[in-house]
Amino acid sequence: MAEAHQAVGFRPSLTSDGAEVELSAPVLQEIYLSGLRSWKRHLARFWNDFLTGVFPASPLSWLFLFSAIQLAWFLQLDPSLGLMEKIEELLPDWGGQHHRLRGVLAAALFASCLWGALIFTLHVALRLLLSYHGWLLEPHGAMSSPTKTWLVCEGQSPAQALRGPTSLCPSLWDPVHLSLVSTPPPGSSPPFSGCQPHSLCRFDWWEEFVYLRSRHSLMVNSNYYMMDFLYVTPTPVQAARAGNAVHALLLYRHRLNRQEILPTLLMGMRPLCSAQYEKIFNTTRIPGIQKDHIRHLRDSRHVAVFHRGRFYRVGTHSQSGLLSPRALEQQFQRILDDPSPACPQEEHLAALTAAPRDVWAQVRSSLKTQAEDTLEAVEGAAFFVSLDSEPAGLTREDPAATLDAYAHALLAGGGGGWFDKSFTLIVFSNGKLGLSVEHSWADCPISGHMWEFTLATECFQLGYSADGHCKGHPDPSLPQPQRLHWDLPEKIHLSISLALRGAKTLSGNVDCHVFPFSHFGKSFIKRCHLSSDSFIQMALQLAHFRDRGQFCLTYESTMTRLFLEGRTETVRSCTREACNFVRAMEDKEKTEPQRRAMFRLAVEKHQALLKAAMSGQGVDRHLFALYIVSQFLHLQSPFLDQVHSEQWQLATSQIPVQQTHLFDVHNYPDYVSSGGGFGPADDHGYGVSYIFMGDDTITFHISSKKSSTKTDSHRLGQHIEDALLDVACLFQEGPRPKLRCRGLQEEDSGHRHGSLPCHTGGSRAPTKSTNL
Query: What residues act catalytically?
Result: 439
With contact defined as beta carbons under 8 Å apart, do 160 and 271 qualify?
yes
Q: Which helix (H) or strand (E) holds 701?
A: strand 697-705
User: Which phi and psi (to 5°) does residue 691 adopt?
Assistant: -140, 140
Residue 474 CB partners (closer than 8 Å, separation 6+): 326, 327, 329, 330
Q: How far apart are CA 654 and CA 448, in angstroms?
A: 11
With contact defined as beta carbons under 8 Å apart, do 158 and 58 qualify?
no
How many residues in the chain? 772
**Packed helices 532-548 and 713-728: angle between N→C axes, nearest 10 degrees:** 130
With contact defined as beta carbons under 8 Å apart, do 624 and 206 qualify?
yes
In sequence order, the β-bridge partners of residue 296 are 283
With contact defined as beta carbons under 8 Å apart, do 228 and 674 qualify?
yes
Q: How far apart are CA 69 and CA 52, in angstroms?
A: 25
DSSP state of 182: B
Q: How many other CB atoms are found less than 10 A from the CB of residue 466?
A: 5
Q: How far apart are CA 470 and CA 671, in angstroms?
A: 19
With contact defined as beta carbons under 8 Å apart, do 377 and 313 qualify?
yes
Q: How far apart are CA 270 and CA 153, in angstroms?
A: 12
User: Closest by alpha carbon to 8, among 30, 39, 24?
Assistant: 30
- As to burial, measured by CB atoms within 10 angstroms (0-12 exposed, 13-18 middle, 19+ buried), residue 505 is exposed
Preceding amide of 516 cis, omega within 30: no
Q: Which amino acid is at 301?
A: R
